[in-house]
Structure formats: structure tokens, C-alpha cells
Structure 1
Amino acid sequence: MPSPAIAALHRYTLAESPTGDPRALAALAEMLESDAAAAGFGTAREPHPTGDHLVWTLPARGVPGAPLLFLTHYDTVWPVGTLAGMPWTVDGDVIRGPGVYDTKAGIAALLAAVAAAEAPHPEIRVIVVADEEIGSPTATGLVTAEGRRASAVLGMEPPHPGGDLKTGRRGSTRARIEVTGVEAHAALDPDAGANAIDELVDQLLRVREIGAGRPVLVNTGTIAGGGRTNVVAGRAHADLGLRFADPADERAVLGELAALRPVRSSATVTLRLLSHRPTWQPGAGGDELLARIGSVAAGIGQTLAGRPADGAADTNTTGALGRPTVDGLAPRGGGAHARTEWVSAAGVAERTALLTALITGLHRST
């Protein structure tokens, strides 16, 4: 007989929930809200056309002060229909299925922990984001507002391999370079036009120079433009993925990208940020929070360490705000965004126990 958390994870996994599919997300949201209410949360939503963000509140019981904020998400990278070739399976300790590791097991463990927690505890706030996998473009304002009023922020993203926590993250920005040219007949009057694709190529060479010599990752992920080979292309764009280890480099690179100017006088070049997660550097607030979490973990026989991570998440936002933040509190496993994705059944039990202890004991570890 599976534990309540594993049974819940099974239900969540069968409710496929890709980013940007409001119908699929809504079906899982109903399930999650029902389980959250059963665990004692009051539930609310911030509506968006591409998927609602869920906001849950557990009132304080005997511990006054600012709330403890948990950040998680219910969207996945997997389209509806993935289960047909990547089904839910349990083989000993290994549970497989789309989204089990990133990060539906974290939600299941958190709800099981809240249901098991006893007083006293502070106010608990949970934000369950609908578009985390594309940089939380509609959720960042909500995360910022909730982060500013929290005593501490605990991220429910997957941990490092083996279970260690995450104490910092690279900055991550998705940016689009948009070029408008002038259309003309490519054979009869080419000089009357300004080729947007050619302009875009020249701009991408500049982008490469901007990133060179800095510890910055710049990936041109997609390009598109033009329409016909006998027409000078009037429009083109490229989407960039940028990762930063240092806020100074982040400011410099984004500033230089915003200052790009066209090579062709009749073309225009603009930069649009699709999503932006600032660099979260390890700091005193996070270090002190990690120590407190480690103390609570030791009290239930668990050993935890922490270190920065390369990937980005909503904890970038709260960490960059200077709020005490630690991430990676979802159960251990592996294969995020891969067809080998798996989560440990024992890890689900371990994290449920840890989260229960943190809800009731983190305030006493100061």
C-alpha cells in the first residue's frame, strides 16, 4: 500500500500539466487545491490566460511574525500524451513518469508534511507557479511580493544529486532580438530593401562579442524570419538564453544588448526580455538559513549540506532580493527534463519528515 504522498504523486503525474496548456493546468490545479484544503490551507488563485498561479495560506498557530514561504510549480516540460511512452512505473525505490522529479514529488511531500504538522508553527504561505519552466514571466511579480514579506523562503525544486540543498543560482534571462527591415523584390530592386535576416546575423555576431571574455553563457536558441526567397526579408528575430554567475556581468551584458543599434540605416533593432531571473549569489542570510535547516535535519537523524547550482528557478528572485533563501527541498532523484526522469520513494518519505520538522521547528532554530 503506497504512502499518502506516493498515492498523491501518482494522481498528480497522471494529470499531465505542460506549461502554457491552461486546460491541462486547470485540471491539476483543481486536484491540488482540493488536497491543499484537506491539509488545512486556505486557497486562492492569481488568474492568467496561460495558467493560474495558486496561493495557499496556513494560518499561524502559536508563532507570530512574518510567514514562512514555500515556492514550487505545477507545470512541466512534458506535453500532454507523454504518458503513453513514459508511463508511471514503480520499480523498488525508483518511481518514473513525466514531472515526478521536477517537481510534483515536492508538492506531494509538502502537502503530506503540512497534514502531519502539529502546532506551534508560523503562518505558512505556498506559491504554486504555472509557468516556472519558461522563466515565470507572469509569476515573478507575485513571487517578489510574497518574498518581501516572508521571514524565510524555501524552494521546492529538486536538490543536487544525492539530496544536498541549493544556496545560490546563476542568473537566467530569455531575451528576443527583433529586427524590422524593408521588403523589396529580391531580384528587380534589392537595393531598395533592407534584409532583416542579414541584419539579424550581424547583430548575433555582436552578441557573441558581448559575451566573449566573461563568465557568461550565451545560447542562440531559436531564429525565425523572412517569408519568400524572392522577397527581401522584412522581419526576423532570435531568442537568446543567457546565464550569469555575477550580477555585475549581468548588468553589463543586458545593458550592451539593450544598446544594440542597426548596421543598416533603414532597419530597426529592439531587445525584448521574455523572462528575467536575477543572479542569486550565496550570502549571509542564506548561509544562516542553511545552518538552521541543517540543525533541524540533524534532530531527526538527517545530514544535509548545501552549495550553489547552475540552474535557475523562482528562488533566484527572492535570493536576489536579499531574503534568506534555500532551495532543493524536493525529494532526491534525477533526470530532470529527460525521459529517464525518476524520483526516490524513500526520498519522498525523507523529505516529508524533514518538511514536517521545518514547519514546526525552523522558528526554534534561530
Structure 2
Amino acid sequence: MLPFAEIARTAADQLDFVREQVRTYALAESPTRELEALAACADLVVAGHADTGGRTRRVPSANGDHLVTTWGPDNGEHLLLVGHYDTVWPIGRLPYVDDGERIAGPGVYDMKSGLVVIEAALKTLALLGIPLTRQVRLVVIADEEIGSPTGRAVVEAELAGAVAVLGFESPHPGGVLKSGRRGSTRVRLNVEGREAHAALDPDKGVSAIDELVDQLAAVRKLIPDDGTTLANVGTIAGGGRANVIAGSASAELGLRFTTLEAEQRVLRALDALSPVREGANVTVVRLSHRPAWSPPEPNPLLNKVIEVGAALGQEISGKPAAGAGDTNLTGAAGVPTLDGFGPHGQGAHAPDESVVVSTIPDRIALTAALLASL
């Protein structure tokens, strides 16, 4: 039986450490693909892991180093934790503010405070002399905010032998955990036509823009109206001059799916698109893909977390989330998964991004107890 009251008290004692560490990580701003900034932040995260006894392996990629850190023995099954250190904010865009009640700044909610919760939980267990149940393995990705194009393989490589996965992204409002996520796929629809003078030789041209418009109309008809699929045309580009028939055009689409079945059906239909006009060429390029993760029924992992939370005096619940993340990969692979273990807050990808300071100790205690019981 774990000493839950002592865990809660010791977790609360970590608050000053957390505030300083969140400040350190947030001020090391790390926008996706800003390689020098990412490297500087990664160095700090690696140092933080080392201070808690972690052993880190850096996995280089074109988008920055991914980090794989382990605590505990190097054999047997492991508990996999997932996070990222890249952010959506250009450097200098958001100020850092800690007024004692809220911590605001770039990436504090999404999701550098979640990374620090893990460190504080490990410190809590060490101070109490409570051993880990099994090896803990943490994957921290450098390009999650653009769909983990290079990070996906790193997450998937750590799934073998994982008994469960905990994600430290921000939770639902009120701290509700995320028990599932919509699938998320970005595709680019490319159209090639044939340029010609729009007045002198219109019959010799094939308008890529006209073709793209018709293709987008066809895409709309592919989207089911049963609530399983959302589609957004995010960008459109094409052509060059009003007196030249456009030779190329493209559109980027964002797709969200509640089920794997809807996802597979729609993506197959997109791959089968064909030109409306003779002489046009249509291709669909998949830019990123995270499969739909549907919550299992029953959900033993969620039930276990609810039980541990109750022992700490916390009321825990979970429900699916609309947004996608790296836990889509683990949940869709069938490994028991929960996400949203970061502190309560608001404003992911918004100017009011912040975390509520008073909620941090509970998240530390919950994480510590799970690391010692799962």
C-alpha cells in the first residue's frame, strides 16, 4: 500500500522547483523547426532528466533531436510516457508571467509544464524512497506541433514491451483526462494543368484552378454527414497572372475522424480522385497522419487512475478529445493509453496560454503514485 498522504505532501513541496523549471523551459523558446532554439531547449530538458537519475538517448532528425529517457532497470516491460518540447509560438511573441496564481507564456500549457510534472513526480518518489514499479521510459518529440513527421517513428519504436502509455499534454477544462482522440490527417491536393494565353489561345490551356475548384467540390461530397468526419480547406494557391490560364494549383486540407472506419473510407476515396478535365493531372499527398484512437469500453487503465486518484483525494475522470497528438499512435496501436496529465489551464495555441499554479501539486502526486503502481 502506497503512503498516499505522504506522496501528496511531498508533491506539494515540489511547487517551487516546478515554477522555476517551467520558467527555465519556457524562456528557452523552442518553435518547431527552429533548430538552434530547439537544441538549446533540448539541452536543458536532458539536464533536467539527468538531475532526476534519467539516462537520455538523443535521436537526431531534420526537425531537431527527439529525446528518449529511461529511469529504473533496463529489462522487462516498461511504462511509456509521451510528450514534446516544440511549441507553436514564434520567439518573442508571448511574455512569461508568473503572478502566483497562473503561469503564462509560450508553451507553458502545451506542454512544458507537463514535462516538469514528470520530473517533480520522480523527485517525490526519490525523496520518499519509493521505488518505481518498472522501468519508466519518456519520449519527448521535437516536431509534434506539425504532426510528428520524424517523431512518429521514435514513439512507435518504444511501444514494444509497453504496459501502458501516459501522455502529459494539457487536459480538458477542469483537468479531465483524455481517453481517446480524433484521427488527424493533413493532405495536399496538387493539380497540374497547362498554361496558355487566356485571350489568344484559351482552348490550348487547361486551368489548374478550375480543376482544383471542381476537385474540392468533389471532396465535399466525399465527406459523410454522420458526424464522424470534419474537413477544412486550410490553404489554396495557384496561378500567376489574370491573362494566363493557370498551370498549377494546390490546396491543403485538414481532416479529423472519430473512428478508424471513417478515416479509412475517406482517405481511400481521396486517393482515388481523378481529373475532371482532359489534360489535367491530380495527385493527393499525405503530409501527416495520426490515426483515430477510440476509447475502449471498459477502460481498465482509466479505472486504475480513478482508483489511485481517489486514494489521493482527487476526483479523476476522462473523455475523448477533439485534438490529435502522439498518443493517437499509441492508443490506435492497442496499447492502453491516457493523455492530459499536465496541469489545468487554458489557451493551447492561444495568446492566453497559461496553467493554474494550485493544480500542479495534485498532478505531481497523481503521476508519482502511478509511476509506483502501474
DSSP-derived class of the 1:125 partner: strand
**Map 1:310-325 → 2, pairs under 5 A:** 310-325=322-337
**Contact in 1 for aligned 2:15/2:361 (Cα 8 Å):** no
Cα deviation, 1:294-330, whole Å, max 9, x if unaligned, reads 1222222222011111111111111111110011111
Partner of 1:153: 165
2:358 partner SS:
helix
Q: Structure 2: which 5+ residue stretches go unaligned?
A: 1-13
C-alpha displacement of 1:2: 6.0
SS in 2 for 1:133: helix
After TM superposition, list the pairs within 5 Å mapping 1:122-271 onto structure 2: 122-215=134-227, 216-271=229-284
Q: Deviations over 1:189-208 (max 9, x none)?
A: 12112111111111000011
- Deviation digits for residues 184-228 of structure 1, max 9, x if unmatched? 222221211211111111100001111142321100001111222
CA RMSD in angstroms comes to: 1.6
User: Which letter maps to 1:32?
Assistant: V
Give 3-state SS (helix, strand or coil) of 1:217's partner.
Answer: strand
* 1:1-366 → structure 2 map (5 Å cutoff): 3-60=16-73, 65-82=76-93, 86-117=94-125, 118-215=130-227, 216-284=229-297, 287-362=299-374
**How many residues matched?**
356
**DSSP-derived class of the 1:185 partner:** coil
CA distance in 2, matches of 1:247, 1:161: 26
Give the TM-score normalised by structure 1. Answer: 0.94
Which secondary structure does the structure 2 equivalent of 1:162 belong to?
A: helix
- Describe the superposition over 1:25-76 as per-residue Cα deviations: whole angstroms up to 9, x where unpaired: 1110011011111111111111112222111111239xx6311000101111
Q: Distance in 1 between matches of 2:200 and 2:226?
A: 45
**2:41 alignment partner, SS class:** helix
Deviation digits for residues 209-264 of structure 1 (CA, Å, limit 9, x no counterpart): 11142321100001111222222211111110001112211111101000000111
Question: Separation in 2 of the partners of 1:53 and 1:302?
Answer: 33
Q: Does the aligned pair in 2 maintain the 1:190–1:232 contact within 8 Å?
A: yes
C-alpha change, 1:90 and 1:120, in structure 2 (3 Å) is closer
- Shift in Å, 1:268: 0.7
Task: Name the CA distance, whole Å, in 2 between partners of 1:147 and 1:229.
Answer: 53
Q: Is the 8 A contact 1:25 1:130 kept in 2?
A: yes
| Conserved? CA contact 2:166–2:339, under 8 Å | yes
State the AA in 1 paired with 2:281: T
Q: Distance in 2 between matches of 1:257 and 1:2?
A: 50
User: Kindly, what percent of the aligned residue pairs are identical?
Assistant: 51
Q: Distance in 2 between matches of 1:212 and 1:229?
A: 36
Residues 2-24 of structure 1: CA deviation (Å, up to 9, x unaligned)? 61111000011111111121111
Q: Secondary structure at the match of 2:218?
A: helix
Contact 2:79 2:134 in 1 (8 A): yes
- Residue 26 of structure 1 aligns with an amino acid whose one-letter code is A
Gaps of 5+ in 1: none
TM-score (norm 2): 0.92
Cα pair 1:148 1:323 within 8 Å, conserved: no
